[in-house]
Amino acid sequence: MNSEEVLIQSRASLSGVLSRLMTKNEEDSCLFIPSSIRPHIWISILPTLENILYGVRLSSLLSNHTHFFLDILAWIPYGIVHFGAPFVTAIIIYLFSPSGTLPVFAKSFGYLNLIGVIIQLLFPCSPPWYETVYGSQLANYSMGGSAGGLARIDNFFGTKLYTSTFPASPLVFGAFPSLHSGHATLEALFLSYIFPKTTPYFIIYVLWLWWCTMYLTHHYFVDLIGGSCLAVFIFYISSYNYSSHICSRNIFRRDYHSIIYDLPKTEPEISKLSFVQYNLLEDNKINEISHDNHRHSFDILPNSLHTNKLPKSSLFSIWDEETLVV
């Protein structure tokens, strides 16, 4: 790995951490916005939408029946895994994907947080616990938050971790969209992109987190759909334009770094492959590629030609064209 790649990957890791800090800063900054100019707080629109769209209050249905085992099962992803998952995902992406994938993930994660918090500030909605604590009382920005079902976890362990932090939250009415759902979906999409065979497990993780957010009375189902849709939208843009091509035959990041093509040297030193041509070449469906009036004949296709060991001309470039140096 050259010094340029180390610098870029370090910047990507730093940007992932900064995106977390920026989100927290955005939430804290709302304390300095005068209540007189802040939007109206909606307390009934989300449960009403849930009834209209799904015919039942899923959040109420799941939270009405509690049990200690279910509390622990919900606490693990919501109270523990969620906070460390972005960093674990970044490490996995760094180790097992081509150069340039980690910066794409970090930027996608940052934009997800930025857009999500902006929507929450412009469209403040009360979470399910609000009805339990305040009933039908009109909401105002002086009201404190609630730990919801996580209060039972504090009672069990004899702590005040959640019962002290949630009431002091600067963004009490940020139910929609659910960034818990958005984060889990974005992480699942990137990891499924790198490891397609593990997709069912990541789907289970997202569904697990969906269930626990409703069970702990922190989100309506509408919030979860909104967060996941935002994550899918951002992932689609980033993966279509910027993500590296993944080859199932390569396992580690270093496998994408060497050039092992035995190309004829009768043509100019650099030839570019389009994304479509690259896929055809990988599948051994063509043995001749033409680009920019240059033609390379592949009379003998070595076994190594079935790999994806193509270098990128720039770690931030779009993968519409790749460069082969022969």
Supply the pLDDT for residue 73: 94
Host H or E run for residue 235: helix 221-241
Burial (CB count <10 Å: 0-12, 13-18, 19+), residue 208: middle
Domain spans of the chain? 3-241, 258-325
Residue 158, CA distances (Å) to 3, 76, 149, 151 in order: 49, 17, 15, 10
Q: Which three-class secondary structure state does DSSP give residue 288? A: strand
C-alpha 44/C-alpha 67 separation (Å) is 28
C-alpha 69/C-alpha 247 separation (Å) is 41
C-alpha 217/C-alpha 128 separation (Å) is 5
C-alpha 180/C-alpha 218 separation (Å) is 10
CB atoms within 10 A of CB 184: 29
Supply the pLDDT for residue 202: 94
Length of the chain: 326
Host H or E run for residue 194: helix 179-194
Rounded to two decimals, what is the model's pTM? 0.70
Where helices occur in 30-149 by DSSP H, the ranges are: 45-54, 58-63, 68-75, 82-96, 101-122, 128-134
C-alpha 96/C-alpha 92 separation (Å) is 6
In tens digits, the chain (326 residues) has pLDDT values of 444 444 444 444 444 445 444 444 444 555 566 667 788 888 888 888 888 888 778 888 888 888 999 999 999 999 889 889 999 999 998 888 777 788 889 999 999 999 999 999 999 999 999 988 888 888 888 888 888 889 999 998 888 888 888 888 888 888 899 999 999 999 999 999 888 888 999 999 999 999 999 999 999 999 999 999 999 999 988 877 765 655 555 565 555 554 333 334 444 444 444 444 555 555 544 444 444 434 443 333 333 333 333 333 333 333 333 333 33
Supply the pLDDT for residue 296: 43
CB atoms within 10 A of CB 110: 18
Supply the pLDDT for residue 315: 36
Supply the pLDDT for residue 258: 44
Supply the pLDDT for residue 143: 86
